[in-house]
Structure 1
Amino acid sequence: MPSATVSPFEPPALSPEDQADVDRQLILAAKANDPTRVRQLIDAGGNVNAKDDLQDSAFLYAGAEGFNEVLQLTLAAGADVRSTNRYGGTALIPASEHGYVETVSILIAAGTDVDHVNNLGWTALQEAILLNDGGPNQVEVVRQLLEAGADPDIRDVEGRTALQNAERLGFTAIADLLRSS
């Protein structure tokens, strides 16, 4: 008697209308930081890369907001780490801006491009400096980005490097990290 093979779980095939509804519900569940519902909707065939009218996907929103359990679920379900938001940025850029240390670590480990430049002309490193307070979380994010190979010499739209911005804003600890990189 031949042995039964166990196939990996495949979500049900959905009509285009049902797919759009499940994808919409998935994005809403991600925005609500509801990992239980996110898991249910992924199991029901929800596409973690589908985007809403704001160009948010469950993956992008979870990364941008530091919803790490939801983020991990979307990554396990095949999230595209190259996907970009309405600003042309990857999930790593807003995660770095907000100083979400663990989220940044997850996204770096998943292979997100640390030198991606968004439509505003900023990398994750530049946003970690320009759009926050230079505090301990920002220092740690900058350290992680540099260890992951982020290029500190990429200039912003004003022509400034990350070091020049850190110095200009008085972020001594970040400037010290950049000088030693």
Structure 2
Amino acid sequence: MQVTNAASGMGDQEAIEFIRSVFGIVRSGDDATLGAMVAKGLPVNFRNEKGDSLIMLACYHGHQETARILLDAGADPDVPNDQGQTPLAGVAYKGYVEIAELLLRHGANVEGASPDGKTPLMMAAMFNRPAIIDLLRSHGARVDAVDSRGMTAVSLAEKMGANDVLPHLQASPTAS
């Protein structure tokens, strides 16, 4: 766990426990507590021992307001975890359209690929998320991008049996 100046004046163990409590606040979506902490200067780009950032956890757990608080305070919308997954890829997997919109409004990279080359569009395709595909395509996501195995969003969707997304991948994208 990366400890920063937020815990100055505390012993190492006390600082670690404080930081763990911040992650718990984000996981639970306790917006009031988080908002008060951010207003007092809490740094918003902490990462835990798995490399998950506060914004990654807020997004992955579906807490849109928590994510907004963090992003408005300067959280990096593209910071990957230790597996190279970005918050946008996480919400593409989970199907949280509103949070994907929020991340994109805050500058998330629509093409931000993991180390194996999977883009958020590919994640949405694999997990049958047509609304996410439409959103990502309207922001310029490339249907023809290939991962490290030469797979595209279409071939991944077909492999996973995610047939609902195929028309969304083949249609012309709509403007954002």
TM-score (norm 1): 0.81
Question: What residue is the counterpart of 2:171 in the other structure?
Answer: 180
Cα deviation, 1:23-72, whole Å, max 9, x if unaligned, reads: 44322210121111111221232111011112122212112222101001
Mapped to 1, the partners of 2:145 and 2:9 lie a distance apart of: 42
1:49 and 2:45 correspond: yes
Deviation at 1:164, TM superposition (A): 1.9
Count of residue pairs the alignment pairs up:
165
Mapped to 2, the partners of 1:22 and 1:84 lie a distance apart of: 23
Question: What residue is the counterpart of 1:15 in the other structure?
Answer: 8
**Which region of structure 1 is more displaced relative to structure 2, 110-119 or 22-31?**
22-31
Counterpart of 1:34 in structure 2: which amino acid? D
Stretches of structure 2 that go unaligned for 5 or more consecutive residues are none
Instruction: Rate the CA distance shift 1:52–1:172 in 2: closer, same or farther, 3 A.
Output: closer
1:77 and 2:73 correspond: yes
**Larger radius of gyration, structure 1 or 2?**
1
Counterpart of 1:154 in structure 2: which amino acid? A
Mapped to 1, the partners of 2:77 and 2:93 lie a distance apart of: 17
Among 41, 54, 59, the residue aligned to 1:58: 54
Question: What residue is the counterpart of 1:100 in the other structure?
Answer: 96
Stretches of structure 1 that go unaligned for 5 or more consecutive residues are 1-11
Mapped to 2, the partners of 1:157 and 1:13 lie a distance apart of: 39
- Percent identical among aligned pairs is 27
Mapped to 2, the partners of 1:60 and 1:168 lie a distance apart of: 27
Mapped to 1, the partners of 2:39 and 2:141 lie a distance apart of: 35
1:166 and 2:162 correspond: no
RMSD: 2.2
